[in-house]
Amino acid sequence: MEQVLRPIYQERASQSNTLGVILMEKREEKSNVTDTFDTILLIIVKEAEKPVFSKHYLYEGNKVALHTVTEKILRKWLLIGSNKKVVDWIFFGRVLFDRNEFLHKLKIELQEFPFSGRKIKTGIQFSKLIRRYLEGKEYFDKGSYLDAYNHVVDSLHHLGRLSIIDSGLYPEVTVWAQVKKIEPAIYKLYEELVTSNEPIEKRLELLFLASEFLIHSRTRDGAQHILEVMQTKETWTIQELHDHNELMNYSVDLEVFVEYLVDKGYIQIEPIVAKSDMIFHRHYKVNKEALEMEQGL
């Protein structure tokens, strides 16, 4: 297949804008790592008019997908985990072109997973965990057990990814195979939820109790990134938090996360008088006293 695709990728490799080309072939008949295609050709470029551009080809009954993505989009996918298959493509795909060892350095970066990157990724995953957990709890309290189950499964996935990140590794597509080795207790929770013969209400009730402890024990680490950002100035409006170049990666989960940290005492409300004396702007600031007490200062 590489020989067939060579004219396609060589044309792009000759362009100075191209950073790397990866060929990923389907390893198993029923594998979805390649989105049901027989072959994926991933081309990373510095800049492009369209950040993501795709083409599909057909060769002797084989399906081929070509994806051209900018470095900025690729790094965003890797940061927030919105395109998990890309991790597999980078780690296990065949490198056909690598300008100035861009892909080689990227692999090393993912394997070493620098602490600064872990903090951001931990914060993003923790914010997703909080949203799913709270929504699942709300459905459970209403008696909507199937909806609660769906959210709890998602929350466990985020909890599993957090355990992998905490260990200094990068979450792959087969996240539960990693979790089973790294944190068997979380794997056991997931196994109990999906395989137990107990009534769904009982399974959810037990899982909420266990999850509450696991979430509480991870709150300080999960909040570290956002609290460090917020300590760079005295107070913040919610829009200023949304606009921050790192916090914008939290997306729709940011406000739920902030409210959770207010509830836990990590963030304080600073009321600022608006045009009317009866209405106040709600500004936010880090509760430094709470942090100092927790750190034993």
Assign residue 41 the CATH number of its domain.
3.30.460.10
Last residue of a domain, one of 51, 80, 111: 111
| Lowest mean pLDDT segment, chosen from 21-30, 42-51, 198-207 | 21-30
Q: Which residue has the tokens 């260990």?
A: 167
The pTM of the full predicted model, rounded to 2 decimals, is 0.79
Cβ neighbours of residue 251 under 8 Å, at least 6 residues apart?
A: 80
Overall average pLDDT of the 90-107 stretch: 94
Q: Are residues 138 and 267 in the same domain?
A: yes
Determine the straight-line distance between the first and last CA of the chain, rounded to whole angstroms.
62
Q: Evaluate if residue 106 carries a pLDDT over 80.
A: yes
Q: Evaluate if residue 241 carries a pLDDT over 80.
A: yes
pLDDT, one tens digit per residue, over 111-163 is 876 666 788 999 999 999 999 999 999 999 999 999 999 999 999 999 999 99
Pairing of strands 62-70, 39-45: parallel
Cα–Cα distance, 207 to 190 (Å, whole number): 9
Q: Are residues 276 and 140 in the same domain?
A: yes
Give the mean pLDDT of the chain: 90
Most confident of the following: 30-44, 52-66, 75-89: 52-66
Last residue of a domain, one of 47, 81, 111: 111
pLDDT at 115: 60
Structure tokens at 165: 């990140």
Phi/psi for 141 (5° steps) reads -65, -25
Structure tokens at 101: 């060892």
Q: Are residues 173 and 276 in the same domain?
A: yes
Q: Evaluate if residue 100 carries a pLDDT over 60.
A: yes
Looking at the chain, the whole-number percentage of residues with pLDDT higher than 90 is 68
C-alpha Rg value of the chain to the nearest Å? 22
pLDDT at 296: 60
Cβ neighbours of residue 8 under 8 Å, at least 6 residues apart?
A: 41, 57, 66
pLDDT at 116: 61
233: DSSP letter: S
Overall average pLDDT of the 282-289 stretch: 93
Cα–Cα distance, 31 to 61 (Å, whole number): 17
pLDDT at 30: 56
Q: Evaluate if residue 297 carries a pLDDT over 80.
A: no
Query: How many independent structural domains does the chain possess?
Result: 2
Cα–Cα distance, 96 to 41 (Å, whole number): 10
Domain coverage including residue 201:
115-294
247 confidence band (pLDDT: 50, 70, 90): very high
Structure tokens at 173: 């597509």
251: DSSP letter: G
The whole-angstrom distance between residue 203's C-alpha and the CA centroid of its chain comes to 26
For the domain that residue 285 is a member of, what is the CATH number?
1.20.120.330
Q: Are residues 97 and 151 in the same domain?
A: no
Cα dihedral 217/222/225/231 (nearest 10): -50
pLDDT, one tens digit per residue, over 205-215 is 999 999 899 99
Q: Evaluate if residue 169 carries a pLDDT over 60.
A: yes
Looking at the chain, the whole-number percentage of residues with pLDDT higher than 70 is 96
- Residues 157 and 175 sit within 8 Å (Cβ to Cβ): yes
Cα–Cα distance, 39 to 62 (Å, whole number): 8
Q: Are residues 156 and 253 in the same domain?
A: yes
